[in-house]
Structure 1
Amino acid sequence: MNAATGIIDRTNKRERTLITPEGLAVPVTIAARGSRLGALVLDFVFIFLALLVIQIVLLLVLGGVIDDTMESLDENVSGAAEFVIIILILVVFLARYGYFLAMELGPRGATFGKRILGVRVAARNGGRLTPEAVIARNLLRDIELFMPLIFLMIAPSGEAGNAGIAGMIWFLIFMLFPFFNKDALRAGDVIAGTWVLEAPRTKLAEALSTQGAAAKGSSMVTGVKYEFGDEELSIYGEHELQTLERMLRDAQPEALSAVHETICRKIGWDPGAGDERAFLEAFYGQLRAKLEGDMRFGKRKADKFS
Structure 2
Amino acid sequence: MRYNNRFTLSTPESVELEFALAGIGNRVFALFIDYQVLGLILIGHLIVWIFASIQLLDYLTRLEGDFSSVPLWLLAIFLIFNFSIFVGYFVFFEVRWQGQTPGKRLAKIRVVRDDGRPVGLNQAVLRSLLRPVDDVFFIGLFFILLNKQEKRIGDLVAGTLVVQEERDGSKTDILCSERAQQLARELPETSDLDHLTPDDFAVIRAYLRRRNAMTSRSQVEVSMKLAQQIRELIKFEVIPPNMTSEDFLEALYLVYQERSPRFD
TM-score by length of 1: 0.66
Quote how far apart the aligned CAs of 1:183 are: 2.5
Higher Cα Rg, which structure: 1
Alignment of 1:162-173 (within 5 A): none
From 39, 43, 58, give the equivalent of 2:49.
58
Aligned to 2:250: 284
From 132, 147, 157, give the equivalent of 1:142.
132
Quote how far apart the aligned CAs of 1:122 are: 0.9
From the superposition, tell whether residues 76 and 121 of structure 1 become closer, same or farther in structure 2 (CA, over 3 Å): same
Alignment of 1:1-306 (within 5 A): 7-9=1-3, 13-65=4-56, 76-77=67-68, 81=71, 84-85=74-75, 87-146=77-136, 148=137, 175-200=141-166, 203-208=171-176, 210=177, 213-214=179-180, 217=182, 227-229=186-188, 232=193, 235=197, 237=201, 240-241=204-205, 243-244=207-208, 246-247=210-211, 250-252=215-217, 253-270=220-237, 275=241, 278-285=244-251, 287-288=253-254, 291=257, 293=258, 299-302=261-264
Give the count of matched residue pairs. 249
From the superposition, tell whether residues 115 and 271 of structure 1 become closer, same or farther in structure 2 (CA, over 3 Å): same
Task: Tell me how far apart the structure 1 counterparts of residues 209 and 160 of structure 2 sit (CA, whole Å).
Answer: 26
**Contact kept? 2:224, 2:245, Cα under 8 Å:** no
Task: Tell me how far apart the structure 1 counterparts of residues 25 and 206 of structure 2 sit (CA, whole Å).
Answer: 28
**Contact kept? 1:260, 1:271, Cα under 8 Å:** no
Aligned-residue sequence identity (percent) comes to: 22
What are the ranges of 5 or more consecutive residues in structure 1 without an aligned counterpart?
1-6, 70-74, 149-171, 219-224
**What amino acid is aligned across from residue 188 of structure 2 in structure 1?**
G
**Contact kept? 2:22, 2:162, Cα under 8 Å:** yes
Task: Tell me how far apart the structure 2 counterparts of residues 51 and 173 of structure 1 sit (CA, whole Å).
Answer: 24
**What amino acid is aligned across from residue 103 of structure 1 in structure 2?**
F
Task: Tell me how far apart the structure 2 counterparts of residues 247 and 286 of structure 1 sit (CA, whole Å).
Answer: 16
Task: Tell me how far apart the structure 2 counterparts of residues 66 and 140 of structure 1 sit (CA, whole Å).
Answer: 35
Task: Tell me how far apart the structure 1 counterparts of residues 23 and 128 of structure 2 sit (CA, whole Å).
Answer: 19
Q: Which of the pair is proportionally richer in helix?
A: 2
**What amino acid is aligned across from residue 113 of structure 1 in structure 2?**
G
**Contact kept? 1:17, 1:28, Cα under 8 Å:** yes
C-alpha deviations, 1:243-268, integer Å up to 9, x for none?
23644885433222201211112211
Quote how far apart the aligned CAs of 1:62 are: 4.4
Secondary structure of 2:250 counterpart: helix
**Contact kept? 1:261, 1:271, Cα under 8 Å:** no
From the superposition, tell whether residues 183 and 277 of structure 1 become closer, same or farther in structure 2 (CA, over 3 Å): farther
C-alpha deviations, 1:32-60, integer Å up to 9, x for none?
20111111122222221111112223344
Quote how far apart the aligned CAs of 1:180 are: 1.3
Q: CA RMSD in A?
A: 3.7
From the superposition, tell whether residues 251 and 177 of structure 1 become closer, same or farther in structure 2 (CA, over 3 Å): same
TM-score by length of 2: 0.74
